[in-house]
Amino acid sequence: MSATHAIGDTVVLTGRSMRHITRSVDTIITTAIMPVAMMLLFVYVFGGAIDTGSVAYVNYMLPGILLMTVASGVAYTSLRIFNDVQGGVFERFQSMPIARSSVLWAHVLTSLVANVISLAVVLAVAVVIGFRSGASVLAWLGIAGVLVLFTLGLTWLAIGAGLSAKTMEGASAFAYPLIFLPFISSAFVPTETMPTVVQAFAEHQPVTPIVNTLRALIEQQPVGTDGWLAVAWCLGILVVAHALALAAYRRRSA
């Protein structure tokens, strides 16, 4: 099957998934509510007690909130995949002359669009409560690039979970540890304030270098080695998650 045919099939199926999104815009809003609530809680309740030096606390913690937004959003991708499987949609697609890869890529592209909208909502609220940045266009492109890589990695994790889940609750449960992970990182407090064991974990898990990279770009500071670590973690998660999702798809299609 030609690449042009596969792209055409992906576009058509993405349109189908996007129509589902437009019929439930509340899903995107709901995805953003939890991160926004956490942002307001930390800024107005805990922010005054956390020393972040010359960096405004809303600027300091925003990268972590953005990652939580993505983690919340991909849970719905897993649910959409699960519903397609349970509703027999996957079986119908397999009987049609379409590229098999397009079925998964349609969900990936839909996830990207939905998460971009949710991230925009969170960023808009952050601006309202005081977020400001003099970052250059190039820096914002870097921020967007890291968030896209992170979203792709988690989306493929979501696809694997949705294909493998036995229940609706199981399809979205994988996202809970991902949402919790920023709390044990540099997202909300400096890692040097943590107990030794917790600090060791925080400094060697993927969220910390990603958060540090986003924060440095926002604050117009040198990214340093965190930038390479962030990209390496995102690509590593993407490659492994993609392989696991394809394996789950083959099992489901067998």
Predicted pLDDT of residue 14: 75
Tokens at residue 244, please?
Answer: 């696991």
93: confidence class by pLDDT, cuts 50, 70, 90: low
Predicted pLDDT of residue 2: 54
Whether residue 62 has pLDDT greater than 60? yes
What is the helix, strand, coil percentage profile of the chain, to 5?
80, 0, 20
126: confidence class by pLDDT, cuts 50, 70, 90: very high
Predicted pLDDT of residue 49: 79
Query: Phi/psi at 222 (nearest 5 deg)?
Result: -60, 135
**Mean pLDDT of the residues in the chain:** 86
Q: What b-and-e string marks burial along 79-106, b requiring 16 or more CB atoms within 10 Å of the CB?
A: bbbbebbeeeebeebeeeebbeebbbbb
Mean pLDDT of 136-160: 95
Mean pLDDT of 122-138: 94
Whether residue 21 has pLDDT greater than 90? no
Predicted pLDDT of residue 114: 87
Mean pLDDT of 218-246: 95
In this structure, what is the dihedral angle of CA atoms 45, 196, 72, 242, given to the nearest 10 degrees?
Answer: 160
Question: What distance lies between CA 36 and its chain's CA centroid?
Answer: 15
Predicted pLDDT of residue 122: 93
Give the position of tokens 């972590």: 64
Mean pLDDT of 43-56: 82
Count CB-CB contacts under 10 A for residue 209: 26
Predicted pLDDT of residue 124: 95
Predicted pLDDT of residue 32: 75
What distance in Å separates the CA atoms of residue 224 and residue 226, rounded to the nearest whole number?
Answer: 5
DSSP notation for 185-241: TTTTS-GGGS-HHHHHHHTTSTHHHHHHHHHHHHTT---THHHHHHHHHHHHHHHHH
3-state secondary structure 149-162: HHHHHHHHHHHHHH
Whether residue 216 has pLDDT greater than 90? yes
Whether residue 109 has pLDDT greater than 80? yes
- The pLDDT tens digits of the residues spanning 199-215 come to 999 999 999 999 999 99
Helices 137-164 and 225-253: angle between axes, nearest 10 degrees = 30
- The pLDDT tens digits of the residues spanning 149-184 come to 999 999 999 999 988 888 877 887 878 888 889 999
pLDDT above 70: percentage of residues in the chain: 87
What distance in Å separates the CA atoms of residue 145 and residue 122, rounded to the nearest whole number?
Answer: 17
The answer to whether the beta carbons of residues 164 and 248 sit under 8 Å apart is yes
Mean pLDDT of 14-34: 70
The answer to whether the beta carbons of residues 112 and 151 sit under 8 Å apart is yes
Predicted pLDDT of residue 94: 65
Helix (H), strand (E) at residue 104 = helix 100-128
81: closest CA among 213, 197, 248?
248
Predicted pLDDT of residue 27: 67
